[in-house]
Structure formats: C-alpha cells, structure tokens
Amino acid sequence: MTEVKICGLTRSEDVLAACELGASILGFNFVAASPRRLSIGRAREISAAAPATVLRAGVFATESRDEVVRAVREVALQLVQLHRPVREEDLEELGVDIVPAVPVEAGREGLPPAEILARCRAVLWDSSGGRGRAPDWAALERAGALPVPTFVAGGLDPMNVGEVIRRLRPQGVDVASGVESAPGIKDRRKLERFFEAIREADRA
C-alpha cells in the first residue's frame, strides 16, 4: 500500500484513528506560524497514544537547531521534515532520518545537492505548506524519478488522492487539511474515505 502520513495532528483521538486506519507516519507540526503548531509537551503527550510501529515525524521550518534537537529527543521523533534547505550538519547532528520538503514549482533545481539527497529518507514534494493548495501535478511528472523515495502533498483529499497516486505512483502521500473539519481537527469520515481511495488506487 502507498505509505500514508497524516500530518498536523493535535488530538490523541486523531492519532488513534490514523493508526487504526493504516497510517505509517504521524506528523507533528512545530512551525511557529502554523495553526497546527504544538508545544513539545503536547506533542509528546498525544504521540504516546500511537504504537511503536508507527513513525513519528516533526515538521520544522525556521526553528533553531536546539529546538529541533529538543523535539527529536523529547517526542522520540524518527523523522524530521524540513521546510528549508537541508545542510550537512542536519544529517550529522539530528540523529534521525531527514525529509526535505521541496516546492513542486522548484522542480529538480530545488532539491538538495546529490551528496545530501542520497542520505535523506525521502523527498516531500509540497507547495502547500498546510494550506490545502494543490500544485501542478504535471510538473512532477516532468521532474522524473529520484534516487530516494518521494512523497507528495498539497491539496490532497478523498476525492483526488486516488488520481494523484495513479498518475504519479509516489512512495507515499501526506495530508493535513484535506481530512479536517477545522485546522488540526481531523474528521473521522474523511480519514476513512481517504484511506479507501488509496486502497482503490493501489489495486488499479
């Protein structure tokens, strides 16, 4: 099955629902400007509801190295998603897998240098920044295959995720607003329909 990351989680019940439905990665947002931002304490509390088999990812942008390191340690994050250029020191100092978030419009020019990219867990193609805005999927088709797995995000919801999977065949998909009733509040029925659409696309 296509891997699924449910991002912008703010409630324990939504963590449990995401895990029950088949999410492989849970996303906790630490970006200062995000309406889904969590404190480290709150992220630690709600992430404890998830089984150890589900990966925990932290989302960061301009936060300091010390903030990222503290979140990794205290929330037991296994992935760090960076909405800024990935540096060599990120790979050396954070101690977890890195996922650079690259705007779709930037294409391959927006990717980290080859020697850094090869050491990343995956690339997340995302132009939305949690705003639910769909990118130009044709631009991703033109970008071609990468040496690491790819995830896609931006405007995904139960109605279009199947088409995106059939068209791009990514390793995984990442959703936040497309399965919400309000920022940070997941809608159980939308989650169910999202996973149903993914299973249908995978069978196609």
* Tokens standing for residue 183: 């920022």
Specify the pTM: 0.95
Residue 117 belongs to a domain with what CATH number?
A: 3.20.20.70
pLDDT digits (tens, 9 = 90+) for 97-107: 999 999 998 98
pLDDT digits (tens, 9 = 90+) for 153-184: 999 999 999 999 999 999 999 999 999 999 99
Query: Nearest CA to 176 among 133, 145, 144?
Result: 133
Quote the number of domains for the chain: 1
Angstrom distance (rounded) from CA 113 to CA 182: 37
pLDDT (mean) for 59-87:
96
Q: What is the secondary structure of 45-85 as a DSSP string?
A: HHHTTS-TTSEEEEEESS--HHHHHHHHHHHT-SEEEESS-
pLDDT (mean) for 69-90:
96
CA angle 85, 37, 91 (to 5 degrees): 30
Q: Is the pLDDT of residue 132 over 80?
A: no
Range of the domain at 181: 3-203
Adjacent-strand bridge partners of 180: 186
Angstrom distance (rounded) from CA 196 to CA 69: 36
* Tokens standing for residue 10: 């703010």
Q: Is 132 within 8 Å of 178 (Cβ atoms)?
A: yes
pLDDT digits (tens, 9 = 90+) for 80-118: 999 999 999 999 999 999 999 999 989 899 999 999 999
Angstrom distance (rounded) from CA 46 to CA 77: 13
